[in-house]
Amino acid sequence: MQYCHKLDLRDNARMALNYLTSMVDPELDYLPYWLISIHVTPPFARHCRVDDAELVASWYEAITAVRRVFGFEEGAEVQAGFKRHLLKSWGPEGLRYHEDYPWTDSLHSSFHEMAYILAALNRSIEEDDTHPQEVRRRAHDLVEGMRGLVIERRTLAFWGGDTPLPPDRWEYEFPNDVYFLDRKWDMTCHTGRGEQAIRNAMMLHPLTHYYELTGHETALDLARGLARHLLGTSRYFNHRGEFFGHVHSAVWVARGLALLGQITGEEQYVTHAGNILEYVLGLSSSFGWVPEYAQWHPHHSEHCETCCINDVIQCALQLSESGRDYWDVVNRFARNQLIENQIRDGSFLEGTVDNSREDTRSTTWHGLDRRIVGGFSGGSEPNSISLQRFRSVAGCCAGMAPQALATVYERSIERDGGAVWINLPIDRRSPDADVSTGYPDDGSIHVEVKNNCDLYIRTAEWMGPITIAVNGKDVPLLRCGNAAKIPGVSDGDRVSLQHPIQTSVRSETVRGVHYKVHWRGPDVVRLAPAGLPLRLYVRTQPEKDDVAAELAERRKASGHQVAPTKGA
């Protein structure tokens, strides 16, 4: 069997950049479109309130990361447009509100959206030197403003009387999940999402990272108070890290807990983060399908929001920094479901796009088959993307998934003093080493060293017996934990790690369906049963040919356009 799919994160990142730069509105300074409706004829994209709240922040982060990490020149003006939106619409309390567009009603600030806003400001502090003073001022005022709005739970009034708590036991929570520009706290209105403790605590990682960047003590204080409430009185997580509700929020919080524990030395936060991640991994597939909710719907009706895959990858990397080894999880999730959830070909919309219809201020119809390429699904099944489901392609995922692409690519090679680590078997060129791999055809990792160093190549159980060669000569395999160590290599040396590889078929139940998962090393090359209409994991040439023939027959028999599979 000939294997045709080889992971190329640069290609995925370039497609993501296409979506980020084309699914925007030039008439409104590149305001993104969150709502993408490809399940109707003709398909359209339409503005809604969240475009100018969460999306301008997450899309700014995504395009900034992708352009920097992969070195793409295109997209600079769109990135600047996102930045201009990010720096608008700030209120007197330091919170950011959305603009007053025709499709908005009340002007309010949602605390879970402030997580995206602060994360974007952090990204700007790190990577973007435009408007540095304004960015730092907005971040400072946002943190101070949110700190001034929390309820401080300082005293326990219980059976034995009132017990004042020491400051290191104070818990912070917001009275509501929204704050209105005109009427402040309006307790008759809320988002209706529920889970306020976790949704309002999504800012844990941005807060802690902001402290890490600036040393701003209010940010650390707010993070600790929110974490104490979340892990204490809210009763949101049990002692095993199990929870009920939104996976995206919970795992982003877990990532924040891990960072908070690492910075403060409070190991209990890292432990809680690990428990939460392990619980989510238990609900997920081995190849990276992650449910959108835990215990909210029957598991067989769950779909995978690509945001959740990004969260698992980012949290796994954060925990790996604390000594836990989740590198294989990162590798399997990134090169399988994360990639499969991306739209690589928009030809399935052929014949349905109406390019003659004039766009309105809120809605666009033209070029949807081209513009959706690079977007990510907000609701995939393990083997398919439905065209009938709301959020078949989701604006929120378009802002989060590219960040995972950039992070995985960047961290695949890292230098630590005199050591260079090859963390992931991904093709990449860097100042320290160039890496090429043979997967899925061949079990090999080839490294061209560019600096004198001790070289470490992370390994996994699926590799089996490993051999190491330096400049074509076999050398003994030395181990350092879950890595092969090749000490004292020099600039220009060529190091090869090789191991046998063959297709293995494993049974796995995901979302209540029994699958045969065909693995070659870290790659899923086929999933049975196959899904429709956008079939995933069509990664071998014979199957691609079969799918194309099947599609032709279906079109011929039906006499009209049939949506092809994703791999056709």
Give the dihedral sign, CA 340/311/176/160. Answer: positive
pLDDT band at 566 (very low <50, low <70, confident <90, very high): very low
| pLDDT (tens digit per residue) in 52-61 | 999 999 999 9
Q: What three-state secondary structure class fits 66?
A: helix
pLDDT recorded at residue 391: 79
Least confident interval from 77-91, 116-130, 175-189, 375-389: 375-389
Same domain, 405 and 435: no
With 0-12 / 13-18 / 19 or more C-beta atoms within 10 angstroms meaning exposed / middle / buried, residue 515 is buried
Q: At 551, is the pLDDT very low, low, confident or very high (cuts 50, 70, 90)?
A: low
Half-sphere exposure of 382 (CA within 13 A, CB side): 28
Q: Give yes or no for a contact between 563 and 534, defined as CB atoms under 8 angstroms apart.
A: yes
Torsion angle, alpha carbons of 494, 500, 501, 502, to 10: 160
What's the pLDDT score for residue 542?
66
Q: Is the pLDDT of residue 320 over 70?
A: yes
DSSP state of 336: I
Report the distance separating Cα 201 and Cα 144, nearest Å. 16
pLDDT tier at 392 (50, 70, 90 boundaries)?
Answer: confident
**What band does 560 get if pLDDT is binned at 50, 70 and 90?**
very low
* Cα 186 to Cα 176: distance, rounded to the nearest angstrom: 8
Out of 464, 498, 532, a domain closes at 498
For residues 217 and 362, state if they share a domain. Answer: yes
Residue pointed to by tokens 């909210």? 296
Listed residue (233, 255, 264, 392) closest to 316, CA to CA: 255
Quote the number of domains for the chain: 3
Place of tokens 């020149």: 73
| Whether residue 501 has pLDDT greater than 60 | yes
Residues 52 and 98 placed together within one structural domain of the fold: yes
What is the per-residue pLDDT for 450? 97
Q: Show which of 412, 443, 468 is a domain's final residue.
A: 412
pLDDT attached to residue 200: 96
- Taking only the tens place, the pLDDT of each residue in 456-475 is 999 999 999 999 999 999 99
What is the separation of C-alpha 339 from the centre of its chain, rounded to a whole number of angstroms? 11
469 and 479 assigned to the same domain: yes
102 cis-preceded (ω within 30 degrees of 0): no
- pLDDT above 70 covers what percent of the chain? 94
Check whether residue 475 and residue 527 sit in a common domain: no
- The answer on 418 and 408 residing in a single domain is no
Residue 565 banded pLDDT, cuts 50, 70, 90? very low
- On whether the CB atoms of residues 481 and 496 are closer than 8 A, the answer is no
Q: Quick one: 20 and 105 in the same domain? A: yes
What's the burial of 105, exposed, middle or buried (CB within 10 Å: 0-12/13-18/19+)?
A: exposed
Cα(566)–Cα(568) distance, integer angstroms? 6
- Is it the case that residue 208 has pLDDT exceeding 50? yes
Q: With 90 as the cut, is the pLDDT of residue 215 above it? A: yes
For residue 4, is pLDDT > 80? no
Please report, for residues 447, 476, 477, 510, the alpha-carbon distance to residue 497 in angstroms, rounded to integers and kept in the order given. 8, 11, 10, 33
In 366-452, DSSP assigns E strands to 380-381, 384-385, 413-416, 419-422, 428-429, 433-437, 444-449
Domain boundary among 412, 438, 472: 412
Q: What does the radius of gyration of the chain's CA atoms come to, in whole angstroms?
A: 24
Instruction: Please check whether residue 503 lies inside any domain of the structure.
Output: no
Residue 536 domain boundaries = 511-558
Question: Cα–Cα distance between 473 and 462 in angstroms, integer?
Answer: 24
Residue 308 — very low, low, confident or very high, per pLDDT cuts 50/70/90? very high
Confidence of residue 420 (pLDDT cuts 50, 70, 90): very high
In a domain, 567, yes or no: no
What CATH number does the domain containing 447 carry? Answer: 2.60.40
pLDDT digits (tens, 9 = 90+) for 354-372: 999 999 999 999 999 999 9
Q: What are phi and psi of 127, to 5 degrees?
A: -125, -15
Shared domain for 280 and 390, answered yes or no, is: yes
* Cα separation, 246 vs 248, whole angstroms: 6
Helix/strand/coil for 103: coil
**What is the pLDDT averaged over residues 485-489?**
98
Torsion of CA 69, 70, 74, 80, to 10 degrees: -10
Is the domain of 387 the same as that of 462? Answer: no
Q: Looking at the structure, do residues 472 and 528 belong to the same domain, yes or no?
A: no
| Residue 154 falls inside a structural domain | yes
Phi, psi for residue 194 in degrees, rounded to 5? 70, -170
Pick from 364-378, 379-393, 547-561: least confident: 547-561
Residues 444 and 348 in one domain: no
Q: Does residue 553 have a pLDDT over 80? A: no
What pLDDT is stored for residue 387 in this prediction? 79
Q: Which two tokens stand for residue 356?
A: 């003659």
Per-residue pLDDT at 519 exceeds 90: yes
d(CA 294, CA 265): 30
Q: What mean pLDDT, rounded, does the chain reach?
A: 93
Residue 167 in contact with residue 225, Cβ under 8 Å? Answer: no
User: Does the N-terminal peptide bond of residue 132 adopt cis geometry, omega within 30 degrees of 0?
Assistant: no
Under the banding of pLDDT at 50, 70 and 90, the label for residue 427 is very high
Task: Determine the distance from the C-alpha atom of residue 424 to the mean position of all C-alpha atoms in its chain, rounded to a whole number.
Answer: 17
- Whether 505 maps to a domain, the answer reads no
Range with the poorest average pLDDT among 265-274, 391-400, 559-568: 559-568
CB distance 228 to 171 below 8 Å? yes
This prediction has a pTM of: 0.94
Q: What is the pLDDT of residues 221-246, one digit of tens each?
A: 999 999 999 999 999 999 999 999 99
d(CA 332, CA 44): 34
State how far the alpha carbon of 555 is from the alpha carbons of 40, 388, 531, in Å. 19, 19, 18
Buried b (16+ CB within 10 A) or exposed e, 242-252: bbebbbbbbbb
pLDDT at 564 over 50: no
Classified as helix, coil or strand, 433 is strand
Q: What's the CATH number where 330 sits?
A: 1.50.10.10
**Secondary structure element (H or E) that encloses residue 523, with its range:** strand 523-528
Q: Is it the case that residue 432 has pLDDT exceeding 90?
A: yes
Are 471 and 534 in a shared domain? no
Q: Which pLDDT value is given to residue 563?
A: 42
